[in-house]
């Protein structure tokens, strides 16, 4: 299963990525992890990325693309992979398509997590994170046992800058300008599967697995 996961910030992409990768026994490849491992190992790409970051610049697409290409050439992706956080725009989607065309192993499904905008604002602005262990809670859906304190380590909970309502609104705008067009891209490729991502995490995972199974069944 070669899978791309797409969805706005707050759609629960990270959690679903972990669940689906484990269900299909494929590596979960997130751009964040690729960056961290290249930086840690001090690879030429990692050093190049670091030189931009040290100057306070964004890492150019070109460097990110090379890191993704490099990651997709590792042996563990032979049974498939789940990409999370890439592609982030149509240019990257084209790059990915070219990388996979070389290997004659195209993306089989782009799974879109569909969440209502108000629901996203509600989910993210209610999130509280432990200062100590980074565990996330939610003031409505996943309340800590004691107000303002982490269940795991007793650390103070706070609202990350990213989770403030005005910041969320801006992130959603960036998403609809840059990332949402890749949904059309994968629709044209005939591999788009959209599922509602409301409700409990496990229900959404099940919905995703069922939709992906139905798709591979219909291709067989
Ligand atoms: Zn904690």
Q: Domains along the chain? A: 2-26+79-219 (3.40.50.300)
Helix 31-41 to helix 61-71 angle (10° resolution) is 90
Which tens digit of pLDDT belongs to each residue from 90-125? 999 999 999 999 999 999 999 999 988 888 888 889
Ligand 1: centre distance to CA 145 (Å)? 12
Q: What is the pTM of this model?
A: 0.81
CA dist., res. 164 & res. 166, Å (int): 6
| Residue 80 buriedness (CB in 10 A; 0-12 / 13-18 / 19+) | middle
Ligand 1: centre distance to CA 155 (Å)? 5
Is 88 considered catalytic here?
yes
Q: Which of 74, 131, 146, 160 is catalytic?
A: 160
Which tens digit of pLDDT belongs to each residue from 39-71? 999 999 999 988 988 888 888 889 999 999 999
Is 2 considered catalytic here?
no
Q: Which of 2, 13, 71, 123 is catalytic?
A: 13
Is 170 considered catalytic here?
no
Is 127 considered catalytic here?
yes
Q: Are strands 157-158 and 127-130 parallel, antiparallel or unpaired?
A: antiparallel
70 token code pair? 């490099």
CA dist., res. 99 & res. 41, Å (int): 23
Which tens digit of pLDDT belongs to each residue from 197-211? 988 889 999 999 999
> What residue has token string 């990350």?
160
Whole-number average pLDDT of the chain: 91
Q: Which of 2, 66, 71, 127 is catalytic?
A: 127
Ligand 1: centre distance to CA 157 (Å)? 8
Number of other CB atoms surrounding residue 46 within 10 Å: 19
Is 188 considered catalytic here?
no
Residue 220 scores a pLDDT above 60: no
Share above pLDDT 70 across residues of the chain, in percent, rounded to a whole number: 98
Report yes or no: 90 and 117 within 8 Å, Cβ to Cβ: no
Ligand 1: centre distance to CA 213 (Å)? 37
Q: Side by side, which strands form the sheet with 127-130?
A: 136-138, 127-130, 157-158
């Amino acid at each position: 299963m070669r899978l791309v996961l797409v969805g706005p910030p707050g759609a629960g992409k990270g959690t679903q990525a972990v669940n689906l990768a484990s269900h299909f026994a494929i590596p979960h490849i997130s751009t964040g992890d690729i960056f961290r491992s290249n930086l840690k190992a001090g690879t030429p790409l990692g050093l190049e990325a670091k030189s931009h970051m040290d100057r306070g610049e964004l890492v150019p697409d070109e460097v990110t693309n090379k890191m993704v290409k490099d990651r997709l050439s590792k042996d563990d992706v032979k049974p498939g992979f789940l990409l999370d956080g890439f592609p982030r725009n149509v240019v990257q989607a084209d790059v990915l398509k070219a990388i996979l065309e070389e290997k004659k192993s195209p993306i089989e499904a782009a799974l879109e997590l569909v969440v209502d905008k108000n629901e996203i604002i509600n989910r993210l602005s209610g999130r509280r994170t432990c200062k100590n262990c980074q565990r996330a809670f939610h003031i409505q859906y996943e309340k800590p046992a004691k107000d303002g304190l982490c269940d795991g380590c007793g650390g103070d909970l706070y609202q990350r800058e990213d989770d403030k309502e005005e910041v969320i609104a801006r992130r959603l705008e960036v998403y609809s300008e840059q990332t949402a067009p890749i949904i059309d891209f994968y629709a044209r490729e005939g591999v788009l599967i959209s599922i509602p991502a409301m409700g409990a995490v496990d229900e959404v995972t099940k919905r995703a697995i069922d939709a992906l199974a139905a798709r591979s069944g219909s291709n067989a």
